[in-house]
Structure 1
Amino acid sequence: MNTAVELPKVKRRSRRWLRIGALWSVVVIVAALASVAVVKFHWHDRLYFYVVSQLDAARWVGKSIWLPDYKVVIEAKPIVGIDDDLSAITYDYDQDRLLAMTNAAPYMIVALSKSGEIIERYPLRGFDDPEGLTYMGDGLMAVADENLQQIAFFRMPEHPGDIIDAKDTQFLALGINLSKHNKGFEGVTYDAVNDRLFVTKERDPRQLYEISGVKKSLEGKLQIRVLDLTSWVDRSVFAKDISDIYYDPNTGHLVVLSQESALLIELSDQGEMVSFRTLLGRFSDLKKSTYGAEGLTMDNDGNLYVVSEPNLFYRFSKP
């Protein structure tokens, strides 16, 4: 009789322990996923800076880019004619066109329409690892070489198809905190009014430099000044890496792009975090995340462009 009575109790205890075990398994999985999210995407930082930006939003009305207002207009459009490693983009305001660059053979700069079609091609020869690209006005370009940690300067050819040869360029090298394994200079942008280049190092460590007097020096009057702004990155860039940077002449603000964190961050002219928007799908208006985002720029109309590996084109605009 006792055995017959005890068996149901044993079965009930077993089912109870199975439920408890299953619950703990769910808790462990959730905790593990949360840990990954915190480490990879810095969710705790995103939450903190979201609250900060919202509390400070009124201060920046009419004085900022304000990234949360930007909505995707063209998403992940493959650029026909480029197969792999689209690494940078800039805006040629003299000819009202986009200039993009590839980091896979054959290296080249391509002129693009604002909807992502190739207009012209300019082959690159002798470049080691071209990653960053910016337009400096009057046809002058700057290309950041990641492996060599140097910036090459040249003028765009007058005729499409003409080769841009590295041996014909002028360059500035900064061998500071050299890193191995493809973690050198990644982004470059230009402030034409104050003749300043902003150059970023991708990671290990992430760094930001301001180089002033560049154009004057190229014209024959040496006035180079290098300023380390890495403290801005440490204070305000809550992302794992920096894959590109853009200087906005209308506000004097910088926009930082992170490939690994799928994130855009706006910084003030004093390095304060002003606003940000995610490039993660399901957490924004994007259908899919842009984990390969390598370059960004803006045009005179305020449209924001992002290019992503292998050959994807994005355009964001304010409604």
Structure 2
Amino acid sequence: MKRFLMACLGLFIVATLSFYLHKPVLNAWHAGVLSWHTFRLSNTALPDGARDLSRYRVTIDGKPIPALEDDLSALTYNLEKNTLWALLNSDPVVVELSLEGELLRSIRIEGVRDMEGLTHVSGDRYVIAEERTHRLLVVDIPDGVDSVHTEGVPTLVVGIGSETNKGFEGLSWDDDGQRLLVVKERNPMRVIEVTGFVSFVVGEPIKVGIREIKSPDSPELFMRDLSSITHVRGVGHKLFLSDESHILVEYNAARQSISLLDLRAGRSGLESTIPQAEGVAVDSELNIYIVSEPNLFYRFSPE
């Protein structure tokens, strides 16, 4: 109770200072909320299988990818190739990157626009999300090609939250649960589960299931926005990335926040705040990768 009262007092002080300094109280209040959750998570016992993001430190800090000039967005890890895949949302291009942030290849995706989400499923199969149309596309990107046509590929439009212009921002394939996880950026933030679409079998009836697993009023969504999501294989945990709040939050299988990685200057070994974090992925060694617009590459490793 004493800690709770101290946290409330801290929030009050922040809001009061904001008023007298003529800064938006809402921003100050949100900063206080983040401070409270940082304190709460740092003083909570971790469950089995937790990644404990507080022990991660940056090992590649904002490395520019010169071949990519702008709009680097989304990130996914291909376990079979041991490489990372990202996309450019201004130009319909998917890129393959090494674990050191070197560009390996570029593939143009024909017939799409405003790509924001990308996730690897298995083999050559990926899912792409268009932000404003709420359209999900299953595409195969084989070796040796420099372009892929999307005409005739499996496509699904998810209408949840389509009445706003802040659409799908991130994707992650949950291989353990055979489901696609989709995050909506904000106004409001949402986390949606889609089953039966990616893993369908040609010639058999398709039974697609769509449900909301994190609603806008969930107290666990204390970030200002959701820019990406990734599934951690084997333990059922998820990592939620927030660009505006400059944090990465770990959630357990019960959908509760359990640890946090601070992406601001001076925290987690970072020299500067990650300016616009757009994608997150985890490799087989449990290193965490983040890409930021315009073309910055980060890697975090556990101490």
**Which TM-score band applies after superposition, normalised by the shorter structure?**
0.7 to 0.9
Aligned residue type for 2:132: N
Give, in angstroms, the shift of residue 33 of structure 1: 5.7
Task: Report 1:174-193 matches (<5 A).
Answer: 174-181=158-165, 183-193=166-176
Query: In the aligned structure 1, how far is the partner of 2:75 from the partner of 2:113?
Result: 18
Distance change in 2, residues 1:301/1:233 (3 Å): farther
What is the aligned counterpart of 1:44 among 32, 39, 42? Answer: 32
Query: In the aligned structure 2, how far is the partner of 1:30 from the partner of 1:56?
Result: 29
Report the equivalent of 2:198.
Answer: 215
- Structure 1 stretch displaced more, 92-101 or 277-286: 277-286
5+ long unaligned stretches in structure 2: 1-14
Which of the pair has more CA radius of gyration?
1
Query: In the aligned structure 2, how far is the partner of 1:44 from the partner of 1:113?
Result: 38
CA deviation map 1:97-151 (0-9, x unaligned): 111111122x211111100001111111221110010000121100111011011
Query: In the aligned structure 2, how far is the partner of 1:33 from the partner of 1:121?
Result: 48
Aligned residue type for 2:238: L
Q: 2:34 touches 2:223 (CA, 8 Å); kept in 1?
A: no
What is the aligned counterpart of 1:95 among 70, 75, 81? Answer: 81
What is the aligned counterpart of 2:59 among 63, 70, 73? Answer: 73
* 1:176 alignment partner, SS class: coil
Task: Report 1:220-235 matches (<5 A).
Answer: 220-221=203-204, 222-231=206-215, 234-235=218-219
Query: In the aligned structure 2, how far is the partner of 1:112 from the partner of 1:147?
Result: 26
- 1:241 paired to 2:225: yes
Aligned residue type for 1:239: M
* 2:138 alignment partner, SS class: strand
CA deviation map 1:15-65 (0-9, x unaligned): xxxxxxxxxxxx9876556955862682222232233323322xx254211
Distance change in 2, residues 1:219/1:49 (3 Å): farther
Q: 2:168 touches 2:182 (CA, 8 Å); kept in 1?
A: yes
* Sequence identity percentage: 30
Aligned residue type for 1:156: I
Report the equivalent of 2:108.
Answer: 123
- 1:153 paired to 2:138: yes
Query: In the aligned structure 2, how far is the partner of 1:223 from the partner of 1:247?
Result: 23
Give, in angstroms, the shift of residue 215 of structure 1: 3.3
| TM-score, with length taken from structure 2 | 0.88
* 1:301 alignment partner, SS class: coil
- Structure 1 stretch displaced more, 86-95 or 232-241: 232-241
Distance change in 2, residues 1:233/1:160 (3 Å): farther
Give, in angstroms, the shift of residue 160 of structure 1: 3.7
Q: 2:62 touches 2:297 (CA, 8 Å); kept in 1?
A: yes
What is the aligned counterpart of 2:178 among 167, 182, 195? Answer: 195
| TM-score, with length taken from structure 1 | 0.84
Report the equivalent of 1:24.
Answer: none
Query: In the aligned structure 2, how far is the partner of 1:37 from the partner of 1:283?
Result: 24
Query: In the aligned structure 1, how far is the partner of 2:266 from the partner of 2:249?
Result: 19
Distance change in 2, residues 1:99/1:137 (3 Å): same
5+ long unaligned stretches in structure 1: 1-26
Q: 2:111 touches 2:150 (CA, 8 Å); kept in 1?
A: yes
Distance change in 2, residues 1:56/1:139 (3 Å): same
Normalized per residue, the structure richer in helix is 1
> Number of paired residues?
288
Report the equivalent of 1:294.
Answer: 278
Q: 2:19 touches 2:25 (CA, 8 Å); kept in 1?
A: no
What is the aligned counterpart of 1:109 among 90, 94, 114? Answer: 94
Report the equivalent of 1:22.
Answer: none
What is the aligned counterpart of 1:85 among 71, 76, 88? Answer: 71
Distance change in 2, residues 1:170/1:68 (3 Å): same
